[in-house]
Amino acid sequence: MHRRDSFRASKIMAERTLANPKIEVKWNSVIDEVLGNDTQGVAGVRIRGSVDANFTEELAATGYFCAIGHTPNTDFLKGQLALTDKKYIAWTTPHRTYTSVEGVFAAGDVADDYYRQAITAAGSGCQAALDAERWLALKGFE
């Protein structure tokens, strides 16, 4: 599904997607509902037109992954942590997951405005866990 009628991704990524025979792009569409149940899991999706709201279609699927843009979901922090000008959580120490609040560590896409990849998010999650563990040990919590 793509909300628009063209990609804004890099030209090479757009070309790879369009050339892949396993991918059918549904232009001007958004997910209206993920279909399925707790027993069998995801069975499909219902899509709705982003231009023509009367258009709907159900597609069979056995899984669902959602990726929407590159705006970090940090509004919930409401000024409690320092953010970058792009609204990502600011790391205050190079090569560490430290934030502007002692004992609070940030990882993943909310703190990474450069790579924004699942594998680097997982890696920074590990870094944050190690930073937190070491901080707790330093504070005498073992």
CATH number assigned to the domain comprising residue 93: 3.50.50.60
Q: What is the pLDDT of residues 115-136, one digit of tens each?
A: 888 899 999 999 999 999 999 9
Distance CA 52, CA 128 (A): 44
> pTM above the 0.85 mark?
no
Query: What would the mean pLDDT of 47-70 be, rounded to a whole number?
Result: 90
Domains contained in the chain, number: 2
Q: What is the pLDDT of residue 8?
A: 84
Q: Is residue 99 part of a domain?
A: yes
- Cβ-contact 43, 37 below 8 angstroms: yes
Q: Is residue 15 part of a domain?
A: yes
Domain span including residue 22: 11-60
Query: What would the mean pLDDT of 55-79 be, rounded to a whole number?
Result: 88
Q: Is 32 helix (H, G, I), strand (E, B) or coil?
A: strand
Give yes or no: residues 32 and 84 share one domain: no
- 52-84 burial, b at 16+ Cβ within 10 Å, e below that, comes to eeeeeeeeeeeeeeeeeeeebebeebeeebebe
Distance CA 49, CA 3 (A): 8
Give yes or no: residues 80 and 55 share one domain: no
